[in-house]
Structure 1
Amino acid sequence: MKLIYTLLVLTILLLIWSAIKPFEYFTWFLEVLPAIIGILVLAFTFESFRFTNLIYALVFVHCAILIIGGHYTYAEVPLFDWIQDTFNQTRNNYDKVGHFAQGFVPAMIARELLLRKEVVLKNNWLNFIVVSIALAISAAYEFIEWGVSLSTGEGGDSFLGTQGYIWDTQSDMLYATIGAVIALVVLSKIHNKQLKAIKN
């Protein structure tokens, strides 16, 4: 419980910092909205379905990425400007960190839900279904970005964040897929231990 409350306080502090003179308030709102919705969902379902500590830690990291991106916009995060200049990259690639997390974190959330709700009874199908869910979430988010950009015109350009890269949408979904696969490879054993502890 202490870990969860600590992460919640840190997230709220990050949100407050992020809301102070962001690059653009409309973009800030669009970028931090998924984090706020996620926090509210977890808060309202906390008593009926409490996730493992691993999931809450991952959600915090994902929220932090979204909140920082909201403050600066994904194309203007200072550290990644420095990386762009230092390594002669053609663009600020902070958005790829965000889309990697967009696969990495939802994959583990989906894994926990599928296992604890006993939706998937055969483990050999589990990884395929989890990666498919993560990719579906990524594709749905691209639809949202596209819709916002069409409906708001230039106001949605910072939210879309393509930076002139014509394959941005496809690469975003690729990064999310890679994130989901790496999450399963790296964290499944740790996750299983925490799930076992819940049952005991």
Structure 2
Amino acid sequence: MSSNSNRLTFNVLLLFYTAVFLFSAISPASRAVWIAEIIPAVAILGVIAWVSTKVEFSKTALVMMFIWLCLHTIGAKYTFAEVPFDWFNHVIGSERNNFDRVAHFSIGLYAYPIAEVLIKKKVAKPVFASLFGLFAIMSVAAAYEIIEWWYAAIAGGDEGIAFLGSQGDIWDAQKDMLCDTTGALVALLIMRVQRSTDWYCSESSLSKG
């Protein structure tokens, strides 16, 4: 990261995530499930840190990436079906714990940094970078559901059920993938609005000059 401001943003977010990680690691509902859930989060954090040395992420991209990291790490502590989330469930009038749906939505936000990297590296034009970001998230969403199924089948018992977190919904995997996709579309819409605003501001500055 070449920008001191963005580096500071990354460091602050990393510090906050470290606090969430430590909170999650203390007496989780299931240590086995916690380990299985935390491995991908730590791996993604490592990728973010590595890519950050190659490309300067915007503050928006950094915040979007850390949202999922924090939500996923909290879910690892309680198991996603048992996270204290009643206030949200009451707001939407659902008896189901929808924390996992929100976490899946936040996965979709990664479409923004994916597209941003492609644009900044001039690998693809914005429209194709956005499409790649969308399809990448959809692919990852499908792959994760398959991995989740495999782990649940191998672990079996309460541990497998806790990791799967379907809460008795036969369409859980499909709904999770829809949430991932919706998150990606929202993230890319935000990028589109931001880029349009930046273009407008640039044009206004030029015309005034």
Aligned to 1:102: 107
CA–CA distance in structure 2, aligned partners of residues 27 and 34 of structure 1: 12
Kindly tell me: are residues 144 and 71 of structure 1, through their superposed partners in 2, closer, same or farther at Cα, counting changes over 3 Å? same
Determine the structure 1 residue equivalent to 2:95. 90
Question: Which residue number in structure 2 is paired with residue 176 of structure 1?
Answer: 180
Are 1:54 and 1:191, in contact at CA under 8 Å, matched by a contact in 2?
A: no
> What letter is aligned with 1:184?
L
Give the direction of change, closer, same or farther, for the CA distance of 1:93–1:142 in structure 2 (3 Å limit).
same
Give the corresponding residue for 1:139.
Answer: 142
Contact 2:38–2:76 (Cα < 8 Å) also in 1: yes
Letter in 2 for 1:26: A
Specify whether residues 83 and 116 from structure 1 end up closer, same or farther in structure 2 by C-alpha distance, changes over 3 A only.
closer
Instruction: Say if 1:10 and 1:124 are closer, same or farther in 2 by CA, change over 3 A.
Output: closer
Aligned equivalent of 2:167: 163
Identity of aligned residues (%): 34
Aligned CA RMSD, in angstroms, stands at: 2.1
Counterpart AA for 1:75: A
Pair 1:7-2:13 in alignment: yes
- 2:118 counterpart residue number: 114
Q: What is the alpha-carbon distance in structure 1 between the residues aligned to residue 82 and residue 151 of structure 2?
A: 20
Alpha-carbon deviation of 1:191?
A: 6.1
Contact 2:111 2:130 in 1 (8 A): no
Quote the Cα distance in structure 2 between the aligned partners of 1:184 and 1:38: 20
Give, in whole Å, the separation in 2 of the partners of 1:134 and 1:2: 27
CA distance in 1, matches of 2:184, 2:175: 14
Matched, 1:65 2:71: yes
Q: Does 1:187 align with 2:191?
A: yes
Q: Give the deviation of 1:85 after TM superposition.
A: 5.4
Residues 35-50 of structure 1 correspond to what in structure 2 (within 5 A)?
Answer: 35-50=41-56
Code of the residue aligned with 1:81 in structure 2: it is: D
One-letter identity of the residue aligned with 1:190: Q
Task: Quote the Cα distance in structure 1 between the aligned partners of 2:91 and 2:193.
Answer: 37
Instruction: Say whether the 8 Å CA contact 2:116–2:129 is kept in structure 1.
Output: no
Counterpart-to-counterpart distance in 2, 1:7 and 1:85: 30
Separation in 2, partners of 1:137, 1:103: 10
Aligned residue number for residue 28 of structure 1: 34
Over 3 Å counting, the alpha-carbon distance change for 1:180 and 1:44 in structure 2 is: closer
- Distance, in Å, in 1 between the alignment partners of 2:99 and 2:31 is 19
Supply the AA of the counterpart residue of 1:179: G
* Contact kept? 2:149, 2:164, Cα under 8 Å: yes
Change (3 A) 1:48 1:130: closer
Structure whose CA Rg is larger: 2
